[in-house]
Chain A
Amino acid sequence: GESVGLHLPTLSVQEGDNSIINCAYSNSASDYFIWYKQESGKGPQFIIDIRSNMDKRQGQRVTVLLNKTVKHLSLQIAATQPGDSAVYFCAENPGSNYKLTFGKGTLLTVNP
């Protein structure tokens, strides 16, 4: 469903640590998922995507894991850097309706 009553979860990590950001999605019919990064004053930036026929996908320093049984997504960022500080959103596309439904977002803060 739609995001309601936002209290933004936060994650604070040390530079060089690995970060894991979690997301629960709502629609079991969703077949496509995207992670976005949004820095202050900017629009969401595409990080990585995954289709429902996969359970893992890797990019540069990022890995997305999909668990359809419990409707859960996670984004793993390796060797987190200060430039990774931002709000991270997961988004789901419930099958060919051209609409993304976004999670509430997680604020990642990387301490030098």
Chain B
Amino acid sequence: KAGVTQTPRYLIKTRGQQVTLSCSPISGHRSVSWYQQTPGQGLQFLFEYFSETQRNKGNFPGRFSGRQFSNSRSEMNVSTLELGDSALYLCASSPQRAGEETQYFGPGTRLLVL
């Protein structure tokens, strides 16, 4: 099976702009999670979607939002970008069935905010 794919891989934006990142999960996986990775804070959970519903959300401001489509593909949006939003944004997919909770990560989108 193809792995998790994320687009774009690299992005440069300026403060105040907004950005949309895309994630396509592994075929058959209905759960998609998003994480932010920075050198200072490590890997931090943003949110998780399953069957188009957000089931859990991390401690990030409302500028960070996401959604999931009926084909399980997901997008996350960051509005009014700040310099501190520069990070690697990782998407992970999982079957999320009993006994199958492992999350498999994509390569990430590296966002630089200037």
- Interface assignment of A4: CB less than 8 Å from any CB of chain B: yes
Extra 18 A-B pairs, beta carbons < 8 Å, given A2-B59, A43-B105, A100-B103 = A2-B41, A3-B42, A6-B39, A32-B101, A43-B107, A46-B103, A49-B102, A91-B43, A98-B55, A98-B96, A99-B33, A99-B48, A99-B56, A100-B35, A100-B43, A100-B45, A103-B42, A105-B42
What is the interface of chain A, defined by CB distance below 8 A to chain B? 2-6, 32, 34, 36, 41-46, 49, 89, 91, 93, 97-105
Indicate if the CB atoms of A43 and B106 lie closer than 8 Å: yes
Q: Which residues of B contact A36 (CB under 8 A)?
A: 105
Q: Decide: B31 and A98 in contact? CB cutoff 8 A.
A: yes
Q: Which chain B residues have a beta carbon within 8 Å of chain A's beta carbons? A: 4, 31, 33, 35, 39-45, 48, 50, 55-56, 58-59, 90, 92, 96, 101-108
A45 nearest in chain B by CB position: B105
Residue ID in chain A nearest B31 by CB atoms? A98
Distance of A46 Cα from B96 Cα, bound (Å): 15
A102 to B103 alpha-carbon distance, docked (Å): 12
